[in-house]
Structure 1
Amino acid sequence: MGHDCRPLIRAHEVGEYVFCARAWWHRRQSHPSIREEDRRAGRRFHIRFEQQRRWGGYLIALSILLAIAGMVLLFGALAFRL
């Protein structure tokens, strides 16, 4: 029975990779070559990305509410017209 030399990838690393493949790759390096200012820039990027994603969710919810309100007004206007 031979010893398998492939690197082991743990379950939590899959989520990390899906979120940011570059951060996952840097973390897997035995001696990370990333500079501290690059690391801070990466953190700022992820913070901005999360804020934009959150605002996107709010805007989608708002658009759904406005579409429902528009349909209610349209059907109400049509009901009074008939």
Structure 2
Amino acid sequence: MKKRTIRASEIGTYLYCKRAWWYQNQGVESQNQQEMAGGFAYHQRHGKQVLRAVLWRAAGWLFLLVAIAVLAVWLTQSVIN
């Protein structure tokens, strides 16, 4: 008997609804394809927003580090002169 790998998403489906898990294993397509497509599009948008927020945060930290470096150079120059 061949062992098959069980994915975490499959366990989640089973815990949420055993019947949905069974249908999925039988190859029966979901009847709410339109809702699923809407959910997929929502998650795509949300993922892009999260990525954008992470990039803005990284840019903010980079800007702060550059500002501190410029301030340190300016203070060093003003003390030397």
Which bin holds the TM-score, normalised by the shorter protein?
Answer: 0.5 to 0.7
1:65 aligns with 2:79: no
1:34-73 matches, cutoff 5 A:
35-73=32-70
* Alignment: residue pair count: 65
Taking a change above 3 Å as real, the CA distance of residues 28 and 74 of structure 1, as seen in their structure-2 partners, is: farther
Using the TM superposition, give the Cα deviation of residue 79 of structure 1 relative to its aligned residue in structure 2, in angstroms: 0.6
Cα root mean square deviation, aligned: 2.8
Stretches of structure 2 lacking an aligned partner (at least 5 in a row): 1-5, 24-28
Cα offset for 1:27? Answer: 8.6
2:71 pairs with one of 64, 69, 74: 74
Which runs of 5 or more structure 1 residues have no equivalent in the other structure? 1-9
State the one-letter code of the partner of 2:32: R
* TM-score normalized with structure 2 length: 0.62
* Identical positions, percent: 15
Runs of 4+ displaced beyond 6 Å: none
Structure with more of its chain in helix, by fraction: 2
Question: How far 1:33 sits from its partner (Å)?
Answer: 6.8
User: Which has the greater radius of gyration?
Assistant: 2
